[in-house]
Structure 1
Amino acid sequence: MSTILNFLKENQDSITKTLMRLTRTESPSHTKELVDQCGDVLKAEFESLVGGTVEMIEKKEVGNQYKFTYGTGDETEQILIIGHMDTVWDKGAIPIKQDGDLLYGPGVFDMKGGLAITLWALNALREKGVQGKRKVVFLVTTDEEIGSEHSKEIILEEARKSSVVFVPESSISPHAAVKTERKGAGQFTLNITGVSAHAGINAWDGASAIEELAFQIIDLKKLANREEGISVNVGVINGGTRVNVIAKEAIAEIDVRITKKNQAEKLARQIRNRPVFVEGTKVVITGEIERYPLERTESVIELYKQLKEIAHTHGYDLGEGSSGGASDGNFTAGLGIPTIDGLGPQGDGAHSENEHVFLSNLPYRAALLAEIILKHIH
């Protein structure tokens, strides 16, 4: 068993306390004041455990973001770890409780567990006196759960300086497999304008936006391709004013997922270039493919093999898998930077009232991250 893993196992209670402090400082994406309080806790933990340099990136619309740096490596390419401290939960929405080896709470799995194991992975490297040619940058954002509009540029900026990216997002349940693939994602809005009229007196003078929307939904679903991993979901629709008025307006919000980067341009073009089915209506499409897929490339497979080898020395087998959900790792993968995701601790229930992590797994996951960093820092 590695000395790093032994050190972290000896500190399991302290890792748990770090995670508890982060979890208790609730941080719903849309409440800047609370997210900033969580940032204060995260900053204090980093300074105590790692002692590197801290840069706060002030934001007005969302919580302030942080760039933490360990080491002063002289090589041009750094090691990048990306995470987020915002959660999908309003304050007090679900209780924080410990039941034996399980810790339940808002964001504990997605992804405060990942933040805690990253802090302790870097602490283990510090305690072992590890310094390398590359510095490690731990970038923590505050709007991942609401689309990363205010963090995308800093993520891309740091990714372009990096040789590899590790994402301690929630692992794949139930066996804590890492993510070697993630679907890319896009969102589009379909706005339809028709011609209103009295549904009884002037039934044939109008042009129904709702009728056009119905045709559009059926046609859009034809773009989905299960074999190629392309999904199209019309998740929100709205239109009309009264039952006896032909609808002048209708709107639909569309979510798309892709598995290959080369699918993105074609699918976006097919969505934007809509035919019109109901004479007198007008269709306007806005939106884009926001995140390219994290594809299982040769460089990603090599990272997984390295992780699997480390896990074997720790006494367990590390699996891999794919996710239909996207993360900030999609941004870095889209640039062609070797990126591996799902490095967070074993748990389950992301975005559900059952959200939890296994406390006994925290040292193992921190050690896994520490030792993969060790392979790339020199």
Structure 2
Amino acid sequence: MPLYVDHLLKQQDTMIAMLRDMVEMETPSADKQAVYRLAQYMAGRFAKIGANVEFLQPNAGNHLRASWGSDNEQVLVLCHLDTVWPIGELARRPFCVEGGRAYGPGVYDMKGGTVQAFFALKAIIELNIRPGHKIVFLCNTDEESGSMSSRALIEQEALRSRYVLVPEPTYGAAGAVKLTRKGWGIYHLMVTGRTAHAGNDHEKGISAVTELAYQILKLQALTNYSVGTTVNVGVITGGTVFNMVPDKAEARIDLRAASHDELQRTEQEILSLTPVTPGAILKVTGQINRPPLEATKGNLQLYRRAQKIAADLGIELPGAHVGGVSDGNFTSSVGAATLDGIGAVGDGAHAVHEYLELKAMAPRAALVARLLAE
């Protein structure tokens, strides 16, 4: 159906201008006022095309809900407005367009996909399409930091929805959608030992750093690539001076697993670590942050539908299996059919070379429009 593509191609410059606006509003997750400024900007854009807007949890996140249509059934579009980049990154990497690509912090993850989804809704309204269901956008402001304040809202909206579209970045040069995502757990290991003089009384000390080294080897042994499980000790600290047996050491641990059972099994291994060094004390805290997004029957049906629409638009739409997480993990886990990674084509999420392919914006927005409208 060329209708949507033609309509959106005529608005390409306007899409790029909106993308510039969004990228030039820096939105680190921890800066509530910064992300709220972008949420207000988006609220204004939604209101201008006739959507109803409201802010949710103003004391926690200023998450934005925008809805269009009055039908009882709804379809959910799930976006996040925050990025991993701190205030000041824009000065180092200003938004620019060069060689058919847009560059800048957050351009690919996921401000580009948010622009495309917004213009998909705008096209539906301007072309006077009546989908027969309400279209709801939930734009949260804390996805990159774990969606702590928005998870309940996301799951609540998902349970009301026929299906969920997540315009997170696509995967790879072919622009694959993300059929599965691993589940994610975050843990903190604290080791307590006993101090002693490193020269005079070394034998009286209990080295927390040495004990932590033993535990790191145990944790590394939990990684099993054959089933997609990884345990990464990403941050370690310990000791204060080199000539003292250290009594404190700690580690931050990242767990990824492809299935619920494997995620829970490996979590129990982490939570039940025991000391190797006599007298050392371990304390492990943390939990599963996101369940896996698995290839459920509903998710695969939605993907096959998207493939048919994409073929009609001249787009190949492969599927990918990835280790990164998104809020789509939550929506799928509560039983809502979810299609994730339906956003921008490009590369460099969480990386300084981040970019978006401009030629893909209108066709990918058209794909979202048809998924929303049909």
TM-score by length of 2: 0.95
Residue identity over aligned pairs, in percent, reads: 38
1:72 to 47, 70, 84: 70
1:133 Cα deviation from its structure 2 partner: 3.8
1:326 is the counterpart of 2:307:
no
Please give the alpha-carbon distance, in whole angstroms, between the structure 2 residues aligned to 1:57 and 1:301.
31
- 2:315: which partner in 1? 316
Structure 2 residue runs without a partner (length 5+): none
Match of 2:79 in 1: 83
Q: CA deviation digits over 1:125-184, x for unaligned, max 9?
A: 112223344211100011111121121121112112122111000111212111111111
Counterparts of 1:239 and 1:92 in 2: how far apart (Å)? 31
Contact 1:73 1:132 in 2 (8 A): no
Task: Indicate the SS of the match to 2:242.
Answer: coil
**Equivalent position SS for 2:287:** strand
Residue of structure 1 equivalent to 2:13:
13
d(CA) in 2 for partners of 1:176, 1:283: 44
Residue 224 in structure 1 maps to residue 223 in structure 2: yes
What secondary structure is seen at the aligned counterpart in 1 of 2:245? coil
Distance 2:72 2:152 in 1: 24
1:23 alignment counterpart: 23
How far apart are residue 298 of structure 1 and its match? 2.3
> Does the aligned pair in 2 maintain the 1:169–1:344 contact within 8 Å?
yes
Q: Using the alignment, how far apart are the partners of 1:9 and 1:28 within structure 2?
A: 31
1:116 corresponds to 2:112: no
Alignment partners' CA distance in 1, 2:131 and 2:363: 23
Amino acid at match of 1:337: A
CA contact (8 A) 2:181 2:325 kept: yes
Give 1:58 deviation, angstroms.
Answer: 4.2
3-state secondary structure, aligned to 2:301: helix
Report what 2:100 is aligned to: 101
Letter in 1 for 2:83: T
The residue identity in structure 2 corresponding to 1:239 is G
Aligned mates of 2:274, 2:28 — CA distance in 1: 40
Give the 3-state SS of the residue equivalent to 1:204 in structure 2: helix
Q: 2:55 and 2:324 mapped to 1: Cα distance?
A: 28
Match of 2:161 in 1: 162
- Measured in 2, the distance between the counterparts of 1:272 and 1:89 equals 31
Secondary structure of 1:290's aligned partner: strand
SS in 1 for 2:223: coil
1:99 Cα deviation from its structure 2 partner: 0.9
Q: Runs (4+) of structure 1 moved beyond 4 Å?
A: none
Query: In 1, Cα distance between the equivalents of 2:341 and 2:241?
Result: 48
Q: Deviations over 1:40-79 (max 9, x none)?
A: 211111122x3111011243455x210111111123xx21
**Are 2:274 and 1:275 aligned?**
yes
Cα displacement (A) at 1:33: 2.2
Match of 1:344 in 2: 343
Aligned length: 371
Superposition deviation, residue 368 in structure 1: 0.5
Which segment is superposed worse, 294-303 or 250-259? 294-303
Separation of aligned partners in 2, 1:65 and 1:185: 23
Tell me the equivalent position of 1:199.
Answer: 198
Task: Map Cα deviations across residues 311-369 of structure 1 (whole Å, 9 max, x no partner).
Answer: 11111211111221101111112222211111112111112222111222111111101
Q: Structure 1 residues 211-220 or 52-61, which shifts more?
A: 52-61
Deviations 1:184-221 (A, max 9, x none): 11110001111111122222222111111111111111
1:55-66 equivalences in 2 (<5 Å): 55-60=54-59, 62=61, 64-66=62-64
| Aligned residues: CA RMSD | 1.4
Equivalent residues of 2:142, 2:150 under 8 A apart: yes
Matches within 5 A, 1:16-55: 16-48=16-48, 50-55=49-54
Supply the distance in 2 between the matched residues of 1:220 and 1:142 (Cα, whole angstroms).
Answer: 32
- Alpha-carbon separation, structure 2, partners of 1:311 and 1:20: 27
For structure 1, which runs of at least 5 residues remain unmatched after alignment? none
Paired with 1:240 and 1:198, the residues of 2 have a C-alpha distance of 13
